Amino acid sequence: MNTSAVLHAQGVEKTFGTTRAVAGVDLSIQKGEVCALLGENGAGKTTFIQCALGLTRPTAGRVQVLGQPAGSRSARGAIGAMLQDSDLPELMTAREHLSLFATYYSRPADIATLIGDTGIEAFADTRYKKLSGGQKRRVQFALALVGNPDLLFLDEPTTGLDQAASRAVWNNVRAMVDRGKTILLTTHYLEEADALADRIVVMQKGGIVADGPTDDIRGRVGGALISCQTSLLQSQVISIPGVRSVQEKGRGLAIVSEDAALTLRHLLDRDRQLSDLTVQKPGLSEAIDSLTDTTTQEAA
């Protein structure tokens, strides 16, 4: 048993009626790690996070934060969280929210410094109601930091934000990473995981299907990514030599191949009308697809 872990989950299961939302998750996060939890909707990410936050009790297994049971007051004092779909009371300002939350913690951040560090000065004294979506998210981010947490949970921190607002949140996160904070992040956006995380954990159907350093996960695919427009069907392409997985992408197909030259020869042979052809190294997106896609497993 790993006692030095900031977060330690052991055999965590959560069932709702007959649905197993989380089906036996073991996960340890060490100090200073920035771990991204990826997976499709319904993969169990949010339910797992809720167990780790103590918002819901696992059906089996346990989660500890710095050796304390998740949800206990000392565990809650050591974490900060930015939750999905959570809004603050509209009639108070960011500064008022932060000052109130500071009273909950034993060693809170200095409010003025925190406001400066998270770049929210410009709207710190504006009522929450009047803020834009991006500004609200950044206030929530500041609120997650008010207790000087050892472990920061960010559940879909940039969902629904435009590019500029997402960048602002990312910069905030990076600044925390530089200070050695431990972060557990869930996201739909692979770009976000790629930009922020040094470790990636992929969940599918309630279990962990891949766990490793971001570079490893990306490298796991190998081969090449072929994009093209073709009249061939996905089911026809999967049987072409060298093809590891096929995804629909825009109006065409994205094909991951272990042997690009071989696959291309077959492709061009079978579809003489094939167009818009590009060949590149696979990114994180293809890596995750190939780890979770069922067609891949059939082909493998």
- Give the footprint of other proteins on this chain (CB under 8 A): 16, 53-56, 73-74, 76-77, 79, 81, 83-89, 91-92, 96, 99-101, 103-106, 127, 140, 143, 147
Smallest distance from other proteins to CB 169, Å: 17
DSSP annotation of 110 reads: P
Smallest distance from other proteins to CB 160, Å: 14
Nearer to other proteins, 16 or 269 (CB): 16
Cβ count within 10 A of residue 192: 23
- Fill in the amino acid letter for 32: G
Nearer to other proteins, 10 or 84 (CB): 84
Nearer to other proteins, 185 or 217 (CB): 185
Smallest distance from other proteins to CB 174, Å: 23
Nearer to other proteins, 54 or 242 (CB): 54
H or E element in which residue 86 lies: none
d(CA 227, CA 205): 28
Tokens of 61: 């297994």
Smallest distance from other proteins to CB 108, Å: 8
DSSP annotation of 128 reads: G
Smallest distance from other proteins to CB 276, Å: 43
Report the b/e string of 158-172 with b at 16+ CB within 10 A: bbebeeebbebbbeb
Nearer to other proteins, 96 or 191 (CB): 96
Cα 6 to chain center, whole Å?
Answer: 18
